[in-house]
């Protein structure tokens, strides 16, 4: 592999766990209806719609995390 390819592989290895965690959270939020009415969301990204859905989930379940994944 070239240095550029190695760099891309390393970037992927660092980013993939975060993407997978956000995607799993989005799947649950969508299944439970928290993403409904929030607009389009970008799969695997912690965008505004996902943030709002997380905040609503937290309020409903009395979790005080300010709408962020930890």
Q: What is the mean pLDDT of residues 45-70?
A: 85
DSSP 24-59: HHHHHHHHTTSSTTS----TTS--HHHHHHHHHHHH
pLDDT of 52 reads 94
Q: What is the mean pLDDT of residues 20-37?
A: 96
**Tokens standing for residue 40:** 């389009």
Report helix angle 48-60 to 3-31, nearest 10. 40
More confident residue, 65 or 62: 62
pLDDT of 62 reads 87
Cα–Cα dist 43/38, whole Å: 14
pLDDT of 23 reads 97
């Amino acid at each position: 592999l070239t240095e550029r390819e190695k760099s891309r592989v390393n970037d992927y290895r660092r980013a993939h766990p975060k993407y997978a965690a956000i995607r799993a959270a989005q799947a649950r939020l969508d299944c439970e209806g928290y993403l409904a009415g929030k607009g389009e969301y970008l799969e695997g990204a912690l965008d505004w719609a996902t943030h709002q859905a997380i905040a609503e989930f937290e309020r409903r379940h009395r979790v005080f995390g300010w709408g962020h994944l930890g």
